[in-house]
Amino acid sequence: MNEEINQTCKLELFASLESNVRSYSRSFPAIFSRARGSTMLTEEGRKLIDFFSGAGALNYGHNNQAIKEAIFEYLASDAVVHGLDMATPAKLQFMNTFKSAILWERGLDYRFQFTGPTGANAIEAALKLARKATGRQNIISFTHGYHGMSLGAIAASGNRFYRSASGFSLGGATFLPFDGYFGPAVDTSDYLRKLLTDESSGFDRPAAILVETVQGEGGINVAGEKWLRTVQAIAHEVGALFIVDDIQMGCGRTGKFFSFEFARLSPDVVAMSKSLSGYGLPLSMLLIKEECDIWKPGEHTGTFRGNNLALVAATAAIETYWRSPRFSQQVQQMGEVMRRRLEVIASKYGNGFVVRGRGMAVGFDCQIAEIAAVATRKAFEKGLVIERCGPVDQVVKFLPALTIDRETMEEGLELFDQALAETLREVRTPASCNGS
Ligand SMILES: *Cc1c(COP(=O)(O)O)cnc(C)c1O
């Protein structure tokens, strides 16, 4: 009891010390002190299962042992941690490892650009490069897309709440309907092709088409193989760069290392961040096709590019998980387990719930924002950390660590099931309001 009072007092301190902008400390009101794998401990000794994974930055779990050892060893040796973008053995090793274990295995060839540490900065760099390479300004992005909070990235993101917070007129991007925006009967890539190839459609020729293969923040909206291949082909037909934002869905989240592998895409530029370091350390980069690498030296700069500690962690993550196809198979199997269980839950309660996703990124669309809000709050009270996404936060987003064990996964899903059952007993749905 005392512990609980203590916790409440401390949380009030956060409310008075930290800006009003804080958000996850509101969704998850606890003081998190330690974590390992898929469990987090609060200061008061509560144990929680993590299905949030740092918004996709912790694909290999918290404090992953293999990665931690590499970090310890590097720190103990007094090797260079910060060196702007100077040449270091750690960076060379990362590039060689990534090239041999990831790129060559997939028949891909790219140059590496280490950007500032945020995903948003990688997107800024990608958009700048596309505009510079084509001499055009317009970026085609998609409804419900999310690319970060800096002005260029937010201009290409759909969410009205975030857009208006920028306090700036956001131009330079045109939004087109993502795959399935009008339901399964309408192929939105037909619309895209017509608008972009018609000389009088009113569309400026784009510098780039920027896409997520699965929209993470937008509600776990999944683009199909044919749609993605068509969008890539259209980009090339109209002389635009084809950019995949793999910041959240990359690093194995959808079952393969890159989220676009399944569709055999070959993007001109790939943006990576979140789980790239594998340890939650900030690291972002662009993979750029050699012919698109038209930067002049120093044109996109920044103090924290390619932090060596994060590069060492990233190398260890690749060596540990991506040298054999086993991990990828395991992720696909666990994704199936999670999805099947969620489909059972969805049909058990009816309510028009929809389950969608790819690999271990699965969304449970409650259709009604209040149901998702109450269910995730109750889930947290029961010991599950889980986030919401989608235009009105009506989708519960399942992003457990890719390394989660079966038992913990089942336990977390059970907590969600119980939370949802309680929610449906309490929240009046439109049908019950009508007295039916
Ligand atoms: C998180 C995210 C970003 C922005 O990354 P930050 O590190 O938060 O700037 C961009 N695109 C996608 C798809 C993301 O999920």
Distance (Å, rounded) from C-alpha 253 to C-alpha 269?
19
Residue 1 pLDDT = 56
Q: How far is the CA of 246 from the centre of ligand 1 (A)?
A: 9
Which residue has the CA at smallest separation from atom 5 of ligand 1? 119
Nearest atom within ligand 1 for CA of residue 56: 15
Q: How far is the CA of 190 from the centre of ligand 1 (A)?
A: 28
Nearest atom within ligand 1 for CA of residue 245: 13
Residue 365 pLDDT = 98
Q: Where are the domains of the chain?
A: 2-63+325-434, 65-321
Nearest atom within ligand 1 for CA of residue 217: 15
CATH number of 65-321: 3.40.640.10
Class of domain 2-63+325-434: alpha beta
Residue 435 pLDDT = 39
pLDDT in tens, 38-86: 999 999 999 999 999 999 999 999 999 999 999 999 999 999 999 999 9
Ligand 1 pocket: which of 274, 277, 304, 305 to mutate (most atoms within 8 A of CB): 274
Nearest atom within ligand 1 for CA of residue 249: 13
Ligand 1 pocket: which of 273, 305, 307 to mutate (most atoms within 8 A of CB): 273
Band of pLDDT at residue 436, cut at 50, 70 and 90? very low
Nearest atom within ligand 1 for CA of residue 274: 7
**Could you write out the DSSP letters of every residue in 151-180?**
HHHHHT---HHHHHHT-S---SEEEEPPTT
Q: What percent of the chain has pLDDT over 70?
A: 97
Q: Does this model's pTM top 0.95?
A: yes
Cβ < 6 A, ligand 1 pocket: 118-120, 123, 146-148, 212, 216-217, 245, 247-248, 273-274
